[in-house]
Structure 1
Amino acid sequence: NVAMAREKSTPICQDTGTPIFEVHHPFGVSTRMLTQQIHEAVAQATAKAYLRPNAVDSLTGKNSGNNLGIDFPTIHFHEWDEDRIFITLQLKGGGSENVSTQYKLPDARLGAGRDLEGVRRVVLDAVLQAQGKGCAPGVLGVAIGGDRGTGYIVAKKQLLRKIDDMNLNPDLAALEARILEEANELGIGPMGFGGKTTVLGVKIGVAHRLPASFFVSIAYMCWANRRAEMNVSLQDGQVTEVSYA
């Protein structure tokens, strides 16, 4: 699949997922116009079969046919001080999304408290419960804190990190390494058929939370972990750099 997708410029998987865009832009750039341009690009990519039509009306079950719909695709805008537009795209498939999950600490069933040991326990439980579904070996994006909504946003952003990078927080770096090692000792393996490789990477982020809440959000990503990023020049609108993580 990998070789054929590269050679023929076709999707590596039939489920091209939800397109999730993170857009960094300088002051004065119209996010309304950027949204329109992203929508046009998504529709064109769908028409050319780079993307499968995935936007389904939740009430009628009707597929829009062009990957456009209410809050579809997902676009997050971030204003910054640089004089360029930087866009990342993540394709989040349905199988991996279905095994993504969220825990509320403390969790009496797992003996998980409101600390990093509790985080370790619930993340390993999420891998165990997935049992290879979501197209293992997967990558885990984890968010500690936030509310139920922002937790998943932060968790999915972790999936944009390089697979071999190291967390700048030494405590989280150690936790990532430990969870990766222990998850691969569960014996679940690729697609749940058994083996020593169940998880390819663990990436953990943090968000402030309310005193009453302690959520751990886990965004599971399939082995393909499809991501891309590009820079756009403000001077002439030309794409100056494209890379695939």
Structure 2
Amino acid sequence: MDIVENISKTIIKASTTLTDDKLKALSHAIDIEENENARWALSQILENYKVAQKTRFPLCDDTGIPHVIVELGREREISGELLNQIHEGIELGLNNLPARPMAVKGDEIERIEQSKGLYEKPGMLKPASVLIDCANDESTYKRDISPDTLNLHFILEGGGPEIRAKTYRVYHKRSFENVIDTAVDWLKESLSLLGCTPSIPSIGIGRTHYEANALMLKSIAYGNLDNQSDVEKRVTYKLNETGIGPLGFGGKTTVLGSYVNIGNQRASGVRIVAIRPACFVEPRVATLKL
């Protein structure tokens, strides 16, 4: 198996295709929509999906920042060579897609200021730090990971949802409703400003800012609109009540569903909550099984 080439193909798949559960949810949203403008917007979004998948063009001009989750069984190992292959495969995939050039040149200060411009090759965009997941995970999205599992999940994260995302502490007041409703309130504000709904928002609740965001990222990789928890259904219902609708046109579907991933907690008065209001081309995720 040429791992680098297969990773490249997986990156392209993540950027150009969507999972069946999301396509099904979008088709259902079109069927039930009574607002003429909202129905038109949803139909155009569905057509965009079909064209991207057929032509292998990116779903969006903002082709996203690569994030990687390594799902590891207890009898498998990862090496420095594999990590290098992941970086090489992502670079090849972004160049072959082709992705939009987004990597900023320069030293630490120049990258912050964006004063040296951008690299021409899309593959110069480096992935975020790799996250390793295993059977010891104790979150909502805990899976029965077999000993022989070695899966590479590639997620492309667009800039718009990152701008509207938030990670902060919530005083729980011994109330689950207080925590989840605070997250929903943040999302209501974010979705009203996002501009590219319908969304599949993701929520991670943990002990630290890092953990909350890791939980949120895992929910994007493992979440499924065909299998929504009661908490996820509650979040979806409350957000659809806003009437923001697709592209802000109003209507019944502001979100197609939601992902909520709750991890371990510590004895404290606060819970750390991360939210991400995905745009209508997300989650862009694909998996390579090794």
TM-score if structure 2 supplies the norm length?
0.68
8 A Cα contact 1:103 1:122, kept in partner = no
* Cα 1:179/1:78, change in 2 over 3 Å: closer
Instruction: Determine the structure 2 residue equivalent to 1:115.
Output: 175
Range moving further from structure 2, 93-102 or 29-38: 29-38
8 A Cα contact 1:96 1:134, kept in partner = no
Identity across aligned pairs (percent)? 27
Q: Which has the higher contact order (CA 8 A, sep 6+)?
A: 2
Instruction: Determine the structure 2 residue equivalent to 1:129.
Output: 189
Aligned mates of 2:109, 2:55 — CA distance in 1 = 36
Structure 2 residue runs without a partner (length 5+): 1-47, 136-145
Counterpart residue type for residue 10 of structure 1: F
Task: Note the 1:39-188 alignment, pairs <5 A.
Answer: 39-56=87-104, 59-60=109-110, 61=114, 62-64=117-119, 65-68=121-124, 72-78=127-133, 82-106=147-171, 113-130=173-190, 131-133=192-194, 135-160=196-221, 161-166=223-228, 173-188=229-244
Corresponding residue pairs, total: 220
Aligned mates of 2:231, 2:133 — CA distance in 1 = 29
Instruction: Determine the structure 1 residue equivalent to 2:77.
Output: 29
Aligned mates of 1:73, 1:143 — CA distance in 2 = 18
* Cα 1:145/1:102, change in 2 over 3 Å: same
* 1:129-157 CA-partner distances (Å, limit 9, x unpaired): 11050621111211222201110110121
Query: How many angstroms does 1:115 deviate by?
Result: 2.2
* Cα 1:113/1:82, change in 2 over 3 Å: same
TM-score if structure 1 supplies the norm length?
0.79
- Structural RMSD (CA): 2.4
Instruction: Determine the structure 2 residue equivalent to 1:15.
Output: 62
Range moving further from structure 2, 208-217 or 194-203: 208-217
Q: Select 1:202's aligned residue among 251, 258, 277.
A: 258
Instruction: Determine the structure 1 residue equivalent to 2:285.
Output: 227
* 1:194-241 CA-partner distances (Å, limit 9, x unpaired): 221111112211122343331121122222221111212xxxxxxxxx
Q: Pick the structure with more helix per residue.
A: 2
Range moving further from structure 2, 44-53 or 174-183: 44-53
Structure 1 residue runs without a partner (length 5+): 107-111, 167-172, 233-245
